[in-house]
Copies of this chain bind each other. A is one copy, B any other.
Amino acid sequence: MSPIKVTVIGSGNWGSAIARIVGETAAQYSNDFNPAVNMWVHEEIWDGMKLSHVINEQHENPKYLPGKKLPENVVAVTDLIEACKDSDLLVFVVPHQFVSGVCEQLQGHLKDGVLAVSLIKDDVLHCRVEGNERPLDEAGLMAIHKMGGIRLVSEEIQDILHIDVAVLMGANLAPEVANDNFCEATIGYEGSAETRALLKKLFQTENFRINVVKDAHTVELCGALKNIVACAAGVTDGLGYGDNTKAAVIRLGLMEITKFVEHFYPGSNLETFFESCGIADLITTCYGGRNRKVCEAFVKTGKPLKVVEEELLKGQSAQGPLCAEEVYGMLKHFEMEAKFPLFCAVHKICSGEMKPTDLIGCLRHHPEHRSK
């Protein structure tokens, strides 16, 4: 087998942090990987120079990851098709709203058998109302586009490019990864054990520890749904509840995540929720993340969510309320609201339909407390 050619699609904060890693490992394992790693850069001007030139000359991305050297074998390429056409492995790390555009541009320009890995964390589910059939047929796809519909980023890539997609998620924010702080990630990939081993080799370093599991949908859904739970955690913080109430809310949220995944993507492995993508990412998001922060302030100040978001996040958005809205639409459609009281309450609180103080009332008779 000839060495695997890798392209990182994206060069923001997270894209640059991950390019540091795969640049290093591709050079280290040159029997497996082509050491020349492409990084697609959406060209822009930085300090009077082209950003791509700066990256290729200074081996640093001064705009999005200043002060961190990129390996010299990472090469910035500004033409998307040029960056990807000879690649065997595409690492997607662009904001989720750009995924479909990127994929459409790449249609017809990729090698056979190319594999994608999605590292896109700001996932918002889109409600998919046709039920559970996989793979989706043409009519199913049309319905998604017309009616809104739950669709994961990995499915979006797969649907447009008809290629295999793995995901990498976990408690690993770009700044900490870029600082070489010890952290973990979970890769989800349903394909061969050989490819799973190669993915681990490509992404794992001494300070970025990888576990690979098979149920990729679980990994990806944990990444999206945790933000809803973080909103609930923020509401409890805003209401001034103690540690135990918050822990109960986080736990009940985790139970809803497991039930949601099991219902809509059957076949998940309970152990996957113990991985970095599961409890670890959930914990950091519920104690430190922006969804928690926004919802805490929303409850404390009584200002509209949009206003709080603008004040606190300066242009970024909190995914939790959006995700809760999509999930709520889906649960309502399937008449499953009673099974997911926390998810539903978060949507109703964020949309102003329910008072924050009613959150606990919704959880008191949670299905989790029924005798087992």
**In contact, A171 and B241 (Cβ under 8 angstroms):** no
**In contact, A173 and B243 (Cβ under 8 angstroms):** yes
What is the chain B residue whose CB lies nearest that of A196? Answer: B371
Name the residue among A200, A210, A245, A371 with the largest chain B CB count within 10 angstroms. Answer: A245
Name the residue among A241, A247, A281, A363 with the largest chain B CB count within 10 angstroms. Answer: A247
Q: Complex Cα distance A241/B176, Å?
A: 9
Number of copies of this protein chain within its complex: 2
Query: Which B residues touch A366, using CB under 8 A?
Result: 209
Stretch with Cβ within 8 A of B (4 or more), from A85-93, A137-145, A271-279, A336-344: A271-279
Does chain B have a CB within 8 A of A80? no
Main secondary structure of the interface of A (DSSP, over half): helix
Query: Which B residues touch A284, using CB under 8 A?
Result: 243-244, 246-247
What is the chain B residue whose CB lies nearest that of A210? Answer: B369
**In contact, B248 and A184 (Cβ under 8 angstroms):** yes
Q: Complex Cα distance A265/B291, Å?
A: 39
**In contact, B241 and A181 (Cβ under 8 angstroms):** yes
**Interface residue range, chain A:** 35 or more
Does chain B have a CB within 8 A of A280? yes
Within the complex, the shortest CB–CB distance from A64 to chain B, in Å, comes to: 19
Query: Which B residues touch A281, using CB under 8 A?
Result: 247
A-B contact pairs, 5 of them (CB 8 A): A172-B244, A173-B242, A181-B244, A182-B364, A183-B244
Interface residues of A (CB under 8 A from B): 171-173, 175-177, 179, 181-184, 196-197, 200, 204, 206-207, 209-213, 241-248, 250-251, 254-255, 258, 270-271, 273-276, 279-281, 283-284, 287-288, 360, 363-364, 366, 368-369, 371-372
